[in-house]
Amino acid sequence: MTEKTSGSTGVGGITAAPNKQTIQDVVIRFAGNSQDGIQSIGGLLARLAGRTEKDVMTYMTIPATISGGPSIFQVRLGTGDVLSAGDEVDILVAFYQHSYKDNIQTLRKGGILLYDSDNVQPDPNDKTYRTVGVPITSRTVEAIGGTAKDKGKNMFVLGLVARTFDLDMPKLEAMLQAGYGRKGEDVIRNILGAFHGGYAYDIGKLMETFEFRPQADRAGKKKVVTDGNQAIAYGAIAAGVRFGAAYPITPWTSVMEILRAELPKYGGMFVQAEDEIAAVAMACGASYAGHTALTGTSGPGLSLKSEAIGWAVMAEIPLVVVDVQRGGPATGLPTNVEQSDLNIARSGSHGDAPRIVIAPGSVEDCFYTTVEAVKLAREYSCPVILLSDQALATRVEAWDMPDLKKHVTDISPTFEPRGPNFKPYENTPDGIPHHAAPGTPMVDGKYPIVTGLEHDEYGHPASRPSNHAMMVAKRRRKLQMLSLKLPPPEMYGPPEGNVLLLGWGSSRGPICEAVDRARANGEEVSAIHLRYLLPLQAGIQEIMQSFNHILVVELNDRGVYGYGQLGGIMRAMYCDPRIRGINKTDGLPFKVREILDQLHQRLPAVNTAGMD
C-alpha cells in the first residue's frame, strides 16, 4: 500500500477513523486453484475500479495445463497512475495450504495474510506478516443455504474485499446481476448469497479497513477495462480490418476468438487456418485482393510465417502480423512472458527484408498500436509486425474510453482504372508502390503480375544486377522515409541526468515506476520508451548524450556478447560503449525492485547523483 504524497512504499496511511486507513493504492493477490474462479474476482474488481475512477492493473498466471491447478490473480487498485502490477503484495488471500506456501514469499513485510481457516494452517512462528483467518469454505456453504458444495468461495471473498476496502456495493451488485443474471435464478441467488455473506462477515473485528484517497483529476473520465488481446482485436476492427486468418496458439488465441465472433457483424470474417503458414498466406491473398488483412500468432508461429512475410516485403503487400510473445525458443514457456522475438520480428526472413516493427507499452497502447499498424502497413505497403506479449495479453487494465470516431476507418478497396504504362513498383523517391487490386481495369489492357521474384518497375521478373540493387534500396528507402516522420521517443523524467533507462513493450510501466522510485530517492534516473523498433525513432542519440549511463531494460537474455536484443541493436546503431543491459529471463514481468537492483549493481556509484 502506498501513500503517494509521502513517496514511501511501506504502510503509509493517514488514519481517518479508528481502524480505517486512507490509502493511495493496494496490491491484493488471490491464490487458489483455477476452478475457484480466481480470475472472476480479479476481473470484477478491475471493472469496478474502472467505473469508480480508480486506476487498476492486474497480473495473472493461468496454469499451462488444462485440468485446473494452482492459479493466481493479482490486482493493484489505486487512485493515482498505476504503472505496474506491484512488486510486493499487501494482502495475500490464500484458499489452500499450497496457495499459502507458494505465494507467501510475495507478501511484503508487515502485509496481511487473509486465509481460509478451513483449509490453511499458516506457520505460527513466522512473524513477518500478520495473519487473519476467516472460515471461507464453511461460511460460503452457510451463506448459500447449506449445500455441501463450496462453489461461490470467490464471491464470498469478493464480499470480504468489498467490506475491507469500502468498495461501491451497489455497483458491484449491479455488475454481478449483469454478468450472471442470464445464468438463471438459482445461480444468481447463490452468487449474491455468497457475496453478501462475505460482506456481512465482520472483518473489521479482525483487522483494519481501508478507503481510497480520492483523486480529483480522475473524476468524469470514462474508462474501459480490457486485457491486451481484447484491445488488439477491437483495434483491428476500428482500423477497418475485415479479414484475418490464424492458427490457435497461447497467448495469441483470444484475439482470433474475438475476431472470429465479431467480424461477421462488420461484413468480414476470420479464418482458422490449417497452420501458421497457411494463415499468413491467406492474409497475403486477402491483402493482395484489396482487403488489408491481419494474421497473428506467438513465437513458434512467427518462425513459420517468416517466408511469406518475406514475400510480402518483396511483393510490397500490406500485411499486419501480431506476435503475442511468450518464452522461447521452440515451445518454450507458453504461459510466460518474454521479449525475445525482437530479432526475428525485425529480420526474421531470408534476404534483406525490411518491415515495420512496433510494440505496445500498455493494454491501452495495444489498441492504438494496432490501429497504427494497419495504417502503416497500408501507407508503406509492407508487413508490419506488432510485438505484444503474454503479460499484456493476460493483464487487465482500466484505460480511457477511446474516441472511436477518430479511429473507425473504412479501408475497402477502390478500383479506379489504371494506366497506360502502369508501373506498380515505380522507383520514386519515397519508394512507395501503388498497387492495383484485381478487378481494377487497365486502360491499355496489360495486367500486372505480383511476384516474389525480384522484378522491375512493372512487376516483371528481372534478375539484372542493377535492378536488384535498385529495388532493394527502394524497399529499404520506405522505412527511411518513415523514420523521418516518427515522433521523438517518449521521455519519462527530465531529459538529462545520470542514468537513462531505455525500454520497449510491456516493460514500460515498471520502468516508469523505477524512475519514480529512484527520483524519490534522489537519483537522477530518466527513461525513454521505444514504440517503434524498426525503423527506430530519430532523436535517441541526442537524448543519450545527456546522460552518463544507458541501460537497456528488456525481458530477454544478455546474449553471448553481453547485450539483450534491443541492447545489441542500440550498440550497432550508435557504437556507444556506454550502452549496457538490464535483462531477465525468469518468464515474469519486471518488478520495479528488480530493475533498481540491477541498476545499482551495475552502477554502484549511481547513488551519488550527477557523478561526472
Partner 1 sequence: MTTISTPTIELKAYTKKELVGDQPTWCPGCGDFSILATYFKLLEKRQIPREKIISIAGIGCSSRFPYFVNAYGVHFVHGRAAAFATGVSLTRPDLHVCVFSGDGDAYSIGGNHLTHAARKNIKMTLVVMDNQVYGLTKKQTSPTSPIGFKSKTDLTGSVDHPINPMKQLIAAGATFIARSHSHMPNHVADVMDQAIGHDGFSVVEVLSECTEFFPGAFDGANPRKGGAFTLVPKEHDVTDEAGAYKLAMADFPGYFGVFLKVNRPTKNALEAGLINDAKSKIGTAVPLEMLQKSFDRFA
Which residues in the 467-526 window bind partner 1 by CB under 8 A?
none
Of 3 and 316, which CB lies nearer to partner 1 in the complex structure?
316
CA distances from 276 to 93, 303, 386, 583 (A): 41, 9, 16, 30
All cell numbers assigned to 50: 474502472
Of 13 and 301, which CB lies nearer to partner 1 in the complex structure?
301
Minimum CB separation from partner 1 for residue 51, in Å?
7
Burial class (CB in 10 A: 0-12, 13-18, 19+), 5: exposed
Q: If binding is defined by CB under 8 A, does position 351 make contact with partner 1?
A: no
Using the 8-state DSSP alphabet, how is residue 488 labeled? P
Identity at 210, one-letter amino acid code: F
Q: If binding is defined by CB under 8 A, does position 224 make contact with partner 1?
A: yes
Single residue of 4, 139, 196, 291 touching partner 1 by CB under 8 A = 291
Single residue of 286, 501, 555, 588 touching partner 1 by CB under 8 A = 286
Q: Under rule CB under 8 A, how many of the chain's residues touch partner 1? A: 71
Q: How many CA atoms lie within 13 A of 62 on its CB side?
A: 17
Of 410 and 612, which CB lies nearer to partner 1 in the complex structure?
410
Return d(Cα 549, Cα 533) in angstroms, integer: 21
Return d(Cα 554, Cα 511) in angstroms, integer: 10
* Backbone CA torsion sign across 430, 413, 282, 341: positive
Minimum CB separation from partner 1 for residue 148, in Å?
36
Match 545499482 to its residue by C-alpha cell. 600
Q: If binding is defined by CB under 8 A, does position 461 make contact with partner 1?
A: yes
In the window 11-70, what residues touch partner 1 (CB under 8 A)?
Answer: 50-51
Q: If binding is defined by CB under 8 A, does position 539 make contact with partner 1?
A: no
Q: If binding is defined by CB under 8 A, does position 196 make contact with partner 1?
A: no
Q: If binding is defined by CB under 8 A, does position 128 make contact with partner 1?
A: no
Return d(Cα 455, Cα 472) in angstroms, integer: 10
Chain centroid, CA 56 distance in Å: 14
Taking residues 394 to 423 in sequence order and writing x for each that binds partner 1 by CB under 8 A, - otherwise, the string is -------xx-xx--x-x-xx-xxx------
> What torsion do the CA atoms of 6, 8, 14, 19 make, to the nearest 10 degrees?
170
Q: Which stretch binds partner 1 (CB under 8 A): 101-109, 111-119, 235-243, 510-518?
A: 235-243
Single residue of 117, 173, 427, 447 touching partner 1 by CB under 8 A = 447
Residue 591: CB atoms within 10 A of its CB come to 19
In the window 297-316, what residues touch partner 1 (CB under 8 A)?
Answer: 307-308, 311
Minimum CB separation from partner 1 for residue 311, in Å?
5
Minimum CB separation from partner 1 for residue 132, in Å?
34
DSSP string, 209-253: EEEEPP-GGGTT--EEEEEHHHHHHHHHHHTT--EEEE---TTTH
Return d(Cα 31, Cα 372) in angstroms, integer: 37
Question: Which has the closest alpha carbon to 94: 107, 77, 75?
Answer: 107
CA distances from 285 to 260, 318, 414, 430 (A): 18, 10, 17, 25
Of 114 and 245, which CB lies nearer to partner 1 in the complex structure?
245
Of 132 and 239, which CB lies nearer to partner 1 in the complex structure?
239
Match 470484477 to its residue by C-alpha cell. 44
Q: Which stretch binds partner 1 (CB under 8 A): 181-189, 448-456, 487-495, 592-600?
A: 448-456
Of 166 and 274, which CB lies nearer to partner 1 in the complex structure?
274
Taking residues 360 to 399 in sequence order and writing x for each that binds partner 1 by CB under 8 A, - otherwise, the string is ----------------------------------------
Minimum CB separation from partner 1 for residue 245, in Å?
7
* Angle (CA) 315 320 324, round 5°: 135
Single residue of 269, 472, 538, 609 touching partner 1 by CB under 8 A = 269
Q: If binding is defined by CB under 8 A, does position 285 make contact with partner 1?
A: yes
CA distances from 461 to 202, 363, 380, 466 (A): 79, 43, 22, 13
In this structure, are residues 552 and 564 in contact, taking their beta carbons and an 8 Å threshold? yes
Single residue of 43, 197, 448, 535 touching partner 1 by CB under 8 A = 448
Of 188 and 462, which CB lies nearer to partner 1 in the complex structure?
462
Of 206 and 304, which CB lies nearer to partner 1 in the complex structure?
304
Q: Which stretch binds partner 1 (CB under 8 A): 7-15, 123-131, 209-217, 453-461?
A: 453-461
Q: If binding is defined by CB under 8 A, does position 611 make contact with partner 1?
A: no
Single residue of 165, 195, 243, 590 touching partner 1 by CB under 8 A = 243
In the window 426-445, what residues touch partner 1 (CB under 8 A)?
Answer: 438-443, 445
Beta strand pairing call for 356-358 and 547-554? unpaired
Return d(Cα 138, Cα 30) in angstroms, integer: 18
Q: If binding is defined by CB under 8 A, does position 581 make contact with partner 1?
A: no
